[in-house]
Structure 1
Amino acid sequence: MKMRLQKYLSMNGIASRRQCETEIAAGHVSVNGNVITEMGYQIDSDTDRVTYRGKNVLPSQQKSTILLHKPIGVVSTVKDQFGRTTVIDLVKVSERLYPVGRLDYLTSGLLLLTSDGDVALRLTHPRYQTKKVYHAWLQGVITEDAMHQFRSGVSIEEYVTAPAEINILKKKPNKCQVEIVLREGKNRQVRKMCDFLGYPVSQLKRVGVGSLTLGDLKPGEWRYLSVKEVNQLMNPDQS
């Protein structure tokens, strides 16, 4: 398969795409024995031999998983009937990817896209209780009693939410920022729980999923997960 050298390196766990570009520019990457410093250099992943700092870089991940920093105002679908920008529009790759779960239109943060059905199942099936971490600005300063309710489970829409973690990060007049950790994934759950308790969400961002965090990715930026990162998601007890 034809692809850019930095993409091949990133897909196979060397580093983020931007870091791979730095490594190429520094002369640390060779193709078929020739040092390559040209950005955008095309390789054939099926036939070319790529080395990084003297070691072969072999195709180790046939299926791809991407970590995207989803901006506000982008929908978490493959297509949108209203013509709005989708997460797939932001990640222009040859692989056919699908969002792992969703972040609503007004929520930003960490969203995974994958072509690997096993990864999608591992992260979304309720029995695995994958940890998801959010930072939310609430209208009003939440009380200890309300946080106790949050931690015990809240009754919304004919079901009781699983116990969740919540802690205050910042307090300001008439508002506060909290960190919320969920291990289930009901539709718009954070917003509904906070609404029920009387502290509507004014800004919501997902900052972590399982062992992953956004790192230094800016809204709209993305990177491939390394093989190690995928293995940690699939086998969190062994990481």
Structure 2
Amino acid sequence: MSRNDRSSGGKFSGRQGGGKRKKSYARGNAPIKTNLEKSPLSNTDGIRLNKYIANSGVCSRREADIYIAAGNVTVNGDTITEMGYRVKLEDDVRFDGRRLNPEKPEYLLLNKPKGFFVTGNPEKGGRTVMELLAKATTSKLSPVGKLDNQAKGLLLFTNDGTLAKKLAKPKNGIRQIYHVSLDKNFSQADLDAVKKGVYIEGSKVVVTDISYIDDKPHTEVGIELYSIKEHIVTRIFKSLGYEVDSLDRVVYGGLTKKDLPRGRWRNLTEQEVINLGMH
């Protein structure tokens, strides 16, 4: 998980008109230029640029000063090299061309109940998953991927755009296991066919594993796959003549529903975030 830099950061101490300035150094003995008072871009509002960068999770404050001095950081299109420069939350701050988010990255795992919309405009009177996270955080989090209104199970939320985009790329894929309830018994022949891979709209969908669930009727099966195509599980069974009565995602990456009741959420651990980033 990211570190929330709690240090306040003092105001720039240089004076206009030739007063002495306190020297600060990067690596070795090379001084960092401190010409803040000469810059027309300077302001006294907002937070210090190095803290903004540190809050985004790129590096520490000390390292941020080095990158700023080297010209790696732009604010609203202008390269900033001054120590102590302040920015506002609405400013466009970029590190090596990548826009930064000054909010502390957050990662929440929800065990979604049936009947909640994930994205889009819900029908009149419909409820959204954001209602379930109303007291979880003040940050603006977005779901990674989708689950249908009637689907249940694990759903990840974050404001970490880099991780979200990585997990959303079809070529990366991510391990998912679903508990599926069908409208009729799933035949052994169809189970074997799914193991070999089924074709949806001309493209083969590889299923890692599929089996009947122990001590359950053959209307209930478990299916494991890495595809993140929309409605892919429902489409697999529909292509074989079955309707899905219930769909529950029980595993997402290395995350499970253990100790997470339906409708509840929890924060991911630092190790869980690292593991997701390795997919």
State the TM-score, normalized to the length of structure 1.
0.69
Q: Which has more radius of gyration?
A: 2
The Cα of 1:64 is off from its aligned counterpart by: 0.5
Amino acid at match of 1:108: K
| Counterpart check, 1:213 vs 2:173 | no
Alignment partner for residue 191 of structure 1, among 219, 234, 237?
Answer: 234
Amino acid at match of 1:86: T
Alignment partners' CA distance in 1, 2:235 and 2:225: 13
Equivalent residue runs for 1:92-111 within 5 Å:
92=134, 93-111=137-155
The Cα of 1:79 is off from its aligned counterpart by: 5.4
* Partner secondary structure for residue 88 of structure 1: helix
Structure 1: gaps of 5 or more residues: 1-10, 14-43, 49-58
User: Residue 123 and residue 180 in structure 1: after superposition, are their counterparts in 2 closer, same or farther (change >3 A)?
Assistant: same
The Cα of 1:81 is off from its aligned counterpart by: 6.1
Identity among equivalent positions (%) equals 34
The Cα of 1:206 is off from its aligned counterpart by: 0.2
Alignment partner for residue 6 of structure 2, among 12, 27, 46?
Answer: 46
Equivalent residue runs for 1:48-63 within 5 Å:
62-63=104-105
| Counterpart check, 1:73 vs 2:115 | yes
Alignment partners' CA distance in 2, 1:45 and 1:73: 39
Give the match for residue 191 of structure 2.
147
State the TM-score, normalized to the length of structure 2.
0.59
Further displaced range: 111-120 or 132-141: 132-141
Which protein is richer in helix relative to its size? 1
Deviations 1:26-83 (A, max 9, x none): xxxxxxxxxxxxxxxxxx98369xxxxxxxxxx9972011000111000112753645
The Cα of 1:152 is off from its aligned counterpart by: 2.1
Amino acid at match of 1:190: V
Which protein is richer in strand relative to its size? 1
Amino acid at match of 1:198: G
* Partner secondary structure for residue 220 of structure 1: coil
Contact 1:12 1:226 in 2 (8 A): no
User: Residue 82 and residue 47 in structure 1: after superposition, are their counterparts in 2 closer, same or farther (change >3 A)?
Assistant: farther
Contact 1:79 1:86 in 2 (8 A): no
Amino acid at match of 1:156: I
Aligned CA-pair RMSD: 2.6
The Cα of 1:195 is off from its aligned counterpart by: 1.6
Equivalent residue runs for 1:1-239 within 5 Å:
46=6, 62-77=104-119, 80=122, 82-92=124-134, 93-170=137-214, 175-235=218-278
Paired residue total: 185
Alignment partners' CA distance in 2, 1:212 and 1:172: 24
The Cα of 1:172 is off from its aligned counterpart by: 5.2
Structure 2: gaps of 5 or more residues: 9-54, 58-103
Contact 1:141 1:171 in 2 (8 A): no
Structure with higher RCO (Cα < 8 A, 6+ apart):
1
User: Residue 81 and residue 200 in structure 1: after superposition, are their counterparts in 2 closer, same or farther (change >3 A)?
Assistant: closer
The Cα of 1:12 is off from its aligned counterpart by: 7.5
